[in-house]
Amino acid sequence: MITLCYAAKGGSGTTVVACSRAIGSLGPVLLVDLDGDVPAMLGLAEPDRPGAVDWLASKAPSAHLDDLLVAVTPNCSLLPTGRTDVAPTSTLAPDASPARWDALIDWLGEWSVDSGGSVVVDAGTHRLPSAFVERCPQRWLVTRACYLSLRRAGRLPVAPTGVVLVDEPGHPLGPRDIERSLCAPIVATVDWDIRVTRSVDAGLLLGGRLPRSLHRALARIAT
């Protein structure tokens, strides 16, 4: 199973959700970093090898992707971004042909089948090719109950299959408003928690225990 985590507006929490979903998995999982923040969030050294963006821009065969993986935990491997000069909200790997994106999603599907595990892709706010997005069986839009975020999300070319709502005090919009706006169900509600913020700021999300509320919310949709 491939799960794509993405957002329409920066600061929504896609990397927290993607990393927490990956490192909390009991089975094999591949965490694909297409946003560039995963190593910093997990307190890892920046990978000293090329990554997904470099591969997309090359003519290397899909088998070379195996050589780019970095071990995170006994269960979790990371496919890093590679290039670090890709600005948020930009088109990722603009020079990559549709065939390269097709080859990447094919390889991710094969990895999932061969390992019997799951793939979690953190896309942040980058604009990915619609054909790639559509081939991700689970597309989780991570959002706060913010009018501007929902307005931008409604303009995205591919609809989410589910919404991960980061619930924080002060927003008047309720779950039904969000589901009607996005025409997608809320699959998980994650309470805003200062402990998550502290873990992220300290690069300790990997080493520390996930807050129970975050673990419970994501465990219910871990399939």
Task: Return the minimum-mean-pLDDT range out of 30-39, 86-95, 142-151, 202-211.
Answer: 202-211
Per-residue pLDDT reduced to its tens digit, 17-31? 898 888 877 789 999
Q: Is the pLDDT of residue 38 over 80?
A: yes
Cα–Cα distance, 2 to 120 (Å, whole number) = 6
pLDDT at 87 over 90: no
Number of domains in the chain: 1
Range(s) of the domain holding residue 147: 2-219
Say yes or no to pLDDT of 181 above 70: yes
The answer to whether the CB of 56 falls within 8 A of the CB of 90 is no
Residue count (the chain)? 223
Give 87's contacts (C-beta < 8 A, 6+ positions apart): none
Output the pTM of the full model: 0.85
Check which CATH number belongs to the domain holding 179 and give it.
Answer: 3.40.50.300
Is 80 exceeded by the pLDDT of residue 194? no
Residue 174 has pLDDT above 60, yes or no: yes
- Phi/psi at 109 (5° precision): -65, -40
CA distances from 155 to 136, 148, 151, 178, 214 (A): 19, 11, 7, 14, 28
Instruction: Supply the pLDDT for residue 96.
Output: 81
